[in-house]
Amino acid sequence: MENGRFGIHGGRYIPETLMNAVIELEKAYNHYKNDPGFDRELTYLFNEYANRPSRLYYAQKLTSALGGAKIYLKREDLNHTGSHKINNVLGQALLAKKMGKTRLIAETGAGQHGVAAATAAALMNMECVVFMGEEDTKRQALNVYRMKLLGAEVIPVTSGTATLKDAVSEAMREWTSRIDDTHYCLGSVMGPHPFPTIVRDFQAVISREIKSQILEKEGKLPDAVIACVGGGSNAMGSFYHFIEDKKVRLIGCEAAGRGIDTFETAATVNTGRLGIFHGMKSYFCQDKYGQIAPVYSVSAGLDYPGIGPEHAYLHDIGRAEYVPVNDGEAVEAFEFLSKTEGIIPAIESAHAVAYAIKLAPTMDKGKIIVITLSGRGDKDCAAIARYRGDDIYE
């Protein structure tokens, strides 16, 4: 795969200043991914530190409430730090450490990736700087505190729309000014090659586990795997080992915000078009002149105008479906899962739950759906309360 292409997507559209850094990263990754010692260390961290393997839980009450397909929840919300982000971060931090880097920089939207990066940095004695849109530092003040508690420096980004895309831009700018000792720990399956591949591989543990767990519990593969998609890391991790199993439907749930017929949306595949941004060719929300559109979602973690290049490719070849889920549907699913199963999902993950709520009743009882619960929803309680008109403080 030349320069990390997925069909026409991907590539490495970055300043020359960063080219040797990403080439060096690619070489290091290609070496360590086949290194049994690296694999042992990472597996140890996954299992002993991050609490893997995560549970594949049969949601019996949800299943009977919906009266259709049998629903399993992949519990990434039970990982250390509360989301799937830890998988990628432990992998990248370990890789960076092997490369002799002493400093991690990261972008964050809702703060889940920032917290995970700060956690890995604390564990591995690395310096950590997290870029976070100023808007998001206000929306997610608790996560800012968590990152600082873990020893990271949090830099509020005021450029552009002061949200996730600007945090990515600012982290890239920082990386061009300091490369020698610094690794950019990108949080999703996006950006220039080799990031989409590296992040996918570290997140692929999700689908590897789902596959063996479901075979053990049901003796067959699921009929559908459903995950939410912003940049797309938990979805890519959930889909990866099922791509060759053509009978398994792969469904990515995009944040439609106030609806795909409005401008207040972040549903990239459904409303965007092909472009080149943040180091990759993929689909982006943009205007006719290629100016990147300000996007909106109730979920800060899905509030991104692009999608990872491998998702764009899976969409092109029709292997995965990308469906829009709006704010209202996600909030209802957030509440519904809390009441039926006693599990508060992250508002991001609630987008996947929302689609399953629509899909399950249309399927036979013998069918199986797996929903990846990418994170836990504690962080979202204040925001959802506000969405419902109840002004509580964190």
Partner 1 sequence: MRLLHDTEGMIFMSNIRKAFENGKTFIPFVTCGDPDLETTGKIVREAVKKGAGLIELGIPFSDPTAEGPVIQGANIRALAGGVTTDKIFDFVRELRKDIVIPLVFMTYANVVFSYGSEKFISTCAEIEIDGIILPDLPFEEKKEFQPICRKYGVDLISLIAPTSNERIAMIAREAEGFLYIVSSLGVTGTRSEITTDLASIVKVVRENTDIPCAIGFGISAPEQARKMAAVSDGVIVGSAIIKLIEKYGKDSAEVVGEYVKKMKEAVTE
Active-site residue set: 85, 107, 374
Q: Which helix (H) or strand (E) holds 241?
A: none
Stretch that binds partner 1, among 73-81, 140-148, 240-248, 277-285 (CB under 8 A): 277-285
361 near partner 1, judged by CB under 8 A? no
The footprint of partner 1 on this chain (CB under 8 A) covers a number of residues equal to 37
How would you list the strands of the sheet with 279-284, edge to edge?
5-6, 9-13, 279-284, 273-277
291 near partner 1, judged by CB under 8 A? yes
What is the Cα–Cα distance from 314 to 238, expressed in whole angstroms?
13
277 near partner 1, judged by CB under 8 A? yes
246 near partner 1, judged by CB under 8 A? no
What is the Cα–Cα distance from 23 to 108, expressed in whole angstroms?
24
178 near partner 1, judged by CB under 8 A? yes
Which of 173, 208, 217, 358 contacts partner 1 by CB under 8 A? 173
How would you list the strands of the sheet with 127-133, edge to edge?
153-157, 127-133, 103-108, 182-184
Which of 18, 66, 228, 250 contacts partner 1 by CB under 8 A? 18
Stretch that binds partner 1, among 113-121, 233-241, 251-259, 276-284 (CB under 8 A): 276-284
Nearer to partner 1, 292 or 312 (CB): 292
What is the Cα–Cα distance from 346 to 362, expressed in whole angstroms?
25
As measured in angstroms, the least distance from the Cβ of 20 to partner 1 is: 5
Instruction: Return the structure tokens found at 96.
Output: 């960076």
CA distances from 50 to 54, 83, 96, 119 (A): 9, 10, 18, 11
Instruction: Pick out residues in 21-60 that bind partner 1 (CB under 8 A).
Output: 21
Nearer to partner 1, 11 or 231 (CB): 11
Which of 74, 165, 211, 241 contacts partner 1 by CB under 8 A? 165
What is the Cα–Cα distance from 285 to 294, expressed in whole angstroms?
8
Nearer to partner 1, 122 or 179 (CB): 179
Judged by DSSP in three states, 390 sits in: coil
